[in-house]
Amino acid sequence: MLNQEFYDNALKTLQQLSPEIQEYQFPHLRLFTDGDEFYQKLWQMIDESKTYCWILTYAMDKSLAANITLYKLINAQQRGVNVVLFVDDLQGHYNNKLTKLFQSYGGVFLNLNPLSAFKIYGQEFFRRHHEKMAVADHKAIFGTSNIESHYGGVKWGKQTFHDINTYTEGRHLSYNLQKHFMYLASLYKIQLNPHKPTPNEDLLYTFNAFPPYYEFFKTHPPFNRQIQTQIIESIKNAKDNIKIVQAYYYSVRIFEKYLREAMDRGVKVEIITADKRDQPVYRYAFNRILFQGVIHRNLKVYEFPEQLLHMKGYVFDNNQLFYGSFNNDRWSWKLNHEFNILTEDENEIKMFMDIYNETKLRTRQIDYKKTGTPLRWIKMKFWEWFIYQSEILMSKNQGYHPNKYKYNNLLNTWDDGIGNYF
């Protein structure tokens, strides 16, 4: 016999929580490339934040867009929001007056891996925090844009880069990105105060209960190489095709080994890369040289000749998407802190592939006969020598300083057995 009182109370509770059900159980998701939309979404998140707003960026300048971001963070802090801003020190060219004002109101500001004119230690100098993400309450932005004018569009920037970003409303992504902030803070012995879910949030939310379904991966070499391990596993398991968009491609032997093996067994590989790049290391290198280690009948390489391509992602067999801050170059594979997301959600993969295919329409296949001037060859050889010397420096363990980070925190549950490949 039905307990009418129980069901009456359940219906009443459901009606009271209905706004939160929409908010937490059926998340909104959008992938986009427009730089102005990146700032619009970021500022909207900051302005609407009620409990916390945490931002991590690899680069930040003194541009109007960056200063507006700081002013909005200050305003959020003034109205009682828990605000955190992490910026990698190498590319931290922000407005010092505004960051000090931000801290004076109680905001947590941190230069990640700070440089010192008198203490430059090999690997530690190169070990940059390359992640880019922002979380505010149940909202999140994750992708490839930094808080600089180069990443804005017509209104808020210079349209220098062609990026991809994800905006979501729903607690699964924001909750796990928040965990990454806490992980980084622990390396610098900083205590963050995370948002504690209310009983209603706990009731309405469980991990991976609703799409999109995410797995989260980070890398902090040499202790943690989850991203590298996942890329290799996905290549090994690929059966039909692999599609890659990577601006900063550079020869990584272990990656090229498994990619060649995949092509030998019939997997078709397609790579979109940049025709021109902002980094001096790559500026004078031809794609026909960068890709000479993987030339194969089952490989097609396209170069993007317009803006500076800045997208980073892998699609395996049209049913697995792996994307984030990770570049397919030696710095990401060997040194940088990176963060990627893996999903098999059909809707998100379709949105990513729509952007991928639109980008591909603006490319051309690389010319393996392309030659350059003698001066360009000299510059290219110089940067090859620089990479070789920096790798020697990178490979020496004397650069590690146990007092700099709490290294015991690196060997945690995120690690998934890096010894198999590295």
Residue 369 lies in a domain: yes
194 and 71 in one domain? yes
Average pLDDT over residues 79-102: 95
Residue 65 lies in a domain: yes
70 and 152 in one domain? yes
Residue 144 lies in a domain: yes
Q: Is the pLDDT of residue 183 over 50?
A: yes
Predicted confidence at residue 10, as pLDDT, reads 56
Predicted confidence at residue 407, as pLDDT, reads 39
Q: How many domains does the chain have?
A: 2
Q: pLDDT band for position 138 (50/70/90)?
A: confident
pLDDT in tens, 321-350: 999 999 998 888 888 899 999 999 899 999
Q: Is the pLDDT of residue 413 over 80?
A: no
Q: What is the CATH number of the domain that holds 302?
A: 3.30.870.10
182 and 302 in one domain? no
188 and 118 in one domain? yes
More confident residue, 384 or 204: 384
Average pLDDT over residues 145-171: 92
139 and 87 in one domain? yes
369 and 298 in one domain? yes
160 and 286 in one domain? no
Q: pLDDT band for position 128 (50/70/90)?
A: confident
395 and 268 in one domain? yes
51 and 194 in one domain? yes
Q: pLDDT band for position 177 (50/70/90)?
A: confident
Q: Which residues make Cβ contacts (< 8 Å) with residue 287, sequence separation at least 6?
A: 249, 273, 275, 301, 303, 366
195 C-beta neighbours (distance < 10 Å), count: 19
Predicted confidence at residue 364, as pLDDT, reads 94
Residue 1 lies in a domain: no
Residue 197 lies in a domain: yes
Whole-number percent of the chain with pLDDT over 90:
53
242 and 199 in one domain? no
Residue 184 lies in a domain: yes
143 and 198 in one domain? yes
More confident residue, 422 or 7: 7
Q: Is the pLDDT of residue 362 over 60?
A: yes
Q: pLDDT band for position 412 (50/70/90)?
A: very low
Q: Is the pLDDT of residue 25 over 70?
A: no
> Residues, the chain, total?
422
Average pLDDT over residues 388-407: 49
Burial class (CB in 10 A: 0-12, 13-18, 19+), 337: buried
171 and 254 in one domain? no
Predicted confidence at residue 393, as pLDDT, reads 55
Residue 338 lies in a domain: no
Residue 64 lies in a domain: yes
| Structural domain that includes position 272 | 237-319+345-400
